[in-house]
Structure 1
Amino acid sequence: MLRFTLLLLISLFGINTHAADLKQSKSNFIEGKHYQALEAPLINMGAPVVEFMYYGCRACFQLVPAVAEWSHTKKIDVLLVPVHSESAMVEEARLFHTFDVMGVLGKMYEEGFIIVQTDKSKLQGTDRVNSFLDKNGVDKEKFWTVWKSQEVNQRLAGSAALTRQAKIIKTPTFVVHGTYKVDVESLGSVEELFELLNYLVAMQPKSAPVLLKKPG
C-alpha cells in the first residue's frame, strides 16, 4: 500500500524494519567511498530509507521493481521525494505531486516515467498527459485543477527544500536514517546497492539531527 506524508513522501510496501535480517549484510562498506554522511541530517522523514528520484531518470525507472521487491521482502519503508529546484525539473515533480494529491499515485507512479521518457505517444504537452490519463481512467478535469492547486505548490516547495538540504545532484540517490547518502554510481551492481542499504539501515546514525529549540 502506498502512503504519503506531509513532507512529500510516499511509502512503498514496507511496514517495519527487521534488524536481524539486516545484520547479515556486508560490513566492508567505507564511509566517504560507498556512502557519505550528510552535514545537516534530514529530520522527521517517517521511514528509514528515502529515495530521491526524477521522472526523467532512466535508472530510477529501471530500479522501481527492484526497490519495491526489496522494500516488501525486508519490510523496510522507502519514501520517495521528486528531485527538482525552483526552476529545473519542476514539471516532472508537479506530475508526481498531482498524482499523489489525487490519490492515484499507487497506480500512476510508474506511468509517470512512461509519460516523460517513452515514445508510446507522439502527442506532446497537455495532449500527451491527457492521453495517458484517459488510458488509466484518471479524471482529466480534476487532474488539471489539482495540478494548479496550492496544495501541490506547497509540496513542490517542500521537495525543493529537501533536494537542497540533502545536496542531491543526481538520481537516484538514497538517504538512510536521514543521515547516510548513497550514490548508486559508486557501486558495482544493484545487488551491492541493496547490501549497502541493508547495512546502513542496521546502523544507528552517529549523531542525532539538531532540533530547533523554543525561544527561552
Structure 2
Amino acid sequence: MLETTITNDTLQFLNKLQKNNTREWFADHKDRYKQEEAKVKVFFKHVFEKLKAHDEIERLKVFRIYRDVRFSKNKTPYKNSFSASYSRAGLHRRGGYYVHIEPGKSFIATGFWNPEKDDLLRIRKEWEIDTAELLNIIEKPEFKAVWGKLIGEELKTAPKGFDKEDPNIEWIRKKQYIFKRSFKDTEILAPDFADQVNESFKCIRPYFDLMSSILTTNLNGESLLD
C-alpha cells in the first residue's frame, strides 16, 4: 500500500536542499529527489481523491521544483518546497485550492489570487452594492477558526470610478481575495494531515459558492453563461 502521508524524510531532503541549493548538489542527489517527489505526489493525489468527494475537480497540477530565475533577484535554481494546485471543473465553479509543503513554512491557500480585470471589476461592483452575504460567510466563528481573515494585495485608496468614502471601501479596494492556513511541521507529519487539508477546503465552499455566483452573473442577477 502506498504511503499517503508526508514523511520526515521529505522534510529532511528539503532542508538539505535549502542549505545546498546548487545544480551540482542536486545532480548528485537526483535519485533521492525523485524518491521524495514520488511520495509527495501520492499525497497530493490522495488529497485530490478526497476533494472529489465533495467538489468537482478537473485537474491536479504538481509544480516543478525548478525555479524560473530570469526575472527574480533570488538566483537559486531550485524551490525549497513541493506544491500542488487543484482546479475546479466548469465555468460556473470559480476558485481553486493550493497546497505547499516546506519545512517550517507549510500552508494551504484558496481563493482568487489575481482576478482578471473584468472579474475584479464585477467583484468590486458587487461590494459597492452590498457586502452582507460576504460578511455573513467569512465572519462566522467556525469559518474564522479555520481560515482567519481575508488577505491579499489592495490599493491604498479607492479604485478609479469608486467613492473612497464608500462604507464598503475596505473590500472594494482589494486586488486579491485569498485565505491562507499555515501548518507546523508536526502537523503536516501527522497521520490526519490530508483530512485536515480536505476539511479546511470543504469549509471554504460557501465562500466559493458566493463568489462563483457573482462572477457568473451580471448586476441584475442574470447569467453570463447562457
The TM-score normalised by the length of structure 1 is 0.22
Larger radius of gyration: 2
Q: Which structure's relative contact order is higher, taking Cα pairs within 8 Å and 6+ residues apart?
A: 1
